Structure 1
């Protein structure tokens, strides 16, 4: 399999908050990108940047050297490949690059079906959020045979500043991402807990953030999400329901391996509580609303 270099055709499925800027970055690096999304507006946005819109998953995959999937979950990936014609339309020897966060066991099953049909498969979930997707600075956790990864490396390099080969077998990338999401979810939840406590005892939360940001208690998530926790209506860069899903995957991995994950379980409950209050589409920083509800604090300042 030759390297999928600049000028090669890349099909891209899922032009959402992260997928669209990722597809745009591929266009900017000289790839011929044919993108599909249910929303016509998303396809039009890609066309405006020099890409091409596809009317279906199958059209996006046709004659492509690689098909990138940046969909919500494994169910959507399976539907795109096997129900909507993506795999059948993809040429023999081409690569499916799954970049969504999915359960490791589900990724393994998808990979078996894809490779059994004569195509390559790269398990390549990402971290860095919408900011990283826009900047092309994502961290990509790639699992695939070395030769397959080498072939798709130019595509991944266009999307991320750090591409790590975490293993030869699909599912290993998903597992690394699962551990990553455990820490991300717990960090966001505990930052919300700390700021909720500060508000409860009358400490100005901006002052608290200033102190924490320069102390040993700081973290990337605190610095990124903390300011949004005290905004009325922060921009949504990652929704609460994303962490309902991702921490659910973490706990599933814990059950499968009989690993105790008590902090992840509590964090998951806080995101679930926030979603259950009707805030599932809000920015994930708004998990603080569940803490405020528990502590009988007003949540109007965050709305």
Structure 2
């Protein structure tokens, strides 16, 4: 039995898709969401939709949190306290700052939960397809085996690391590349347009180079067509991760270049009403600056 806390707070369709894949795997599901109406459709898949976090955790072998940030995760797990006990494993999927990683692990230890840190690589479409990559850590082999069916239900690959903290560090390093790529595409397209060159030719030229990728081929045309309001990775979530990247780098005495600029651009885009759009909506900010 899996108790899921949060069925839509990691970016709408992404959280919902993960929960649906757990239900489809026949693992048994109890689900809670702050907005119960968002979780109600899961009942048709056999899930027990619960009114409180504690109710969702009661009787679950694995508790999975799919929530927005460290503070929300900690608060919801406090609310779940009365439903926790026995031999349970907590799988925590939110990407958090180093201090947050330690704090959540300590919170798990206080209530005798085995703790698996497991941030995810992927966006809406991989979540729907069940092809996410999971970066996970637990020093206990038996715990890894216990959560394996759950991780296999939502992902196609699990990268196991030795220590709690390493998965979020790896996820932040990966997201630094993602955000630099998005910003790079946006600025290249904006520059071409300002110089009187069809931006689609930029994508065409990149496509014939060693730097081509499905990400460029997908995001570039969506930017040009302004097809950015349905998010695969919401800009608000990207802005949160961008801030974590710079904070973590500074804590490690690093001063990164592109990563220092991206959070400000994303925050300005969010302040401009684009927080619920795709992260690629940063292109709109580039175009405004060029106007």
TM beyond 0.5: yes
- 2:75, 2:146 → 1: CA distance? 25
Give the secondary-structure state (helix, strand or coil) at the position aligned to 2:99.
Answer: helix
Contact 2:84 2:111 in 1 (8 A): no
Q: Does 1:54 align with 2:46?
A: no
- 2:227, 2:220 → 1: CA distance? 13
Cα distance, 1:41–1:210 mapped onto 2, change above 3 Å: farther
TM-score scaled to structure 2, two decimals? 0.93
Q: Does 1:144 align with 2:138?
A: yes
- 1:198, 1:259 → 2: CA distance? 32
Aligned to 1:71: 67
Q: Does 1:236 align with 2:231?
A: yes
| Cα drift, residue 88 of structure 1 | 3.4
**Candidates 267, 270, 286, aligned match of 2:265:** 270
Q: Which runs of 4+ in 1 moved over 3 A?
A: none
Deviates further, 232-241 or 69-78: 232-241
What 5-or-longer segments of structure 1 have no aligned partner?
A: 1-8, 297-303
| Cα drift, residue 153 of structure 1 | 1.2
**Candidates 209, 212, 217, aligned match of 2:211:** 217
Q: Does 1:14 align with 2:6?
A: yes
Aligned to 2:251: 256
Output one character per residue of 1:247-291: Cα deviation in whole Å (capped at 9) or x when no partner. 101011111111121111112222122122221221111101111
Aligned to 2:169: 175
Q: Does 1:101 align with 2:95?
A: yes
Contact 2:137 2:166 in 1 (8 A): yes
| Cα drift, residue 166 of structure 1 | 1.6
Give the secondary-structure state (helix, strand or coil) at the position aligned to 1:24.
Answer: helix
Deviates further, 252-261 or 66-75: 252-261
- 2:86, 2:206 → 1: CA distance? 53
Give the secondary-structure state (helix, strand or coil) at the position aligned to 1:18.
Answer: helix
| Cα drift, residue 40 of structure 1 | 2.8
- 2:166, 2:91 → 1: CA distance? 14
**Candidates 202, 205, 209, aligned match of 1:208:** 202
Contact 1:35 1:51 in 2 (8 A): yes
Output one character per residue of 1:207-248: Cα deviation in whole Å (capped at 9) or x when no partner. 332332232232343223222212334322221111110010
- 1:19, 1:282 → 2: CA distance? 16
What 5-or-longer segments of structure 2 have no aligned partner?
A: none
- 1:152, 1:211 → 2: CA distance? 44
Q: Does 1:36 align with 2:32?
A: yes
- 1:218, 1:270 → 2: CA distance? 25
- 1:70, 1:223 → 2: CA distance? 29
Q: Does 1:162 align with 2:146?
A: no
Deviates further, 226-235 or 242-251: 226-235
Contact 1:13 1:69 in 2 (8 A): yes
| Cα drift, residue 130 of structure 1 | 0.9
Q: Does 1:118 align with 2:112?
A: yes
Aligned to 1:135: 129
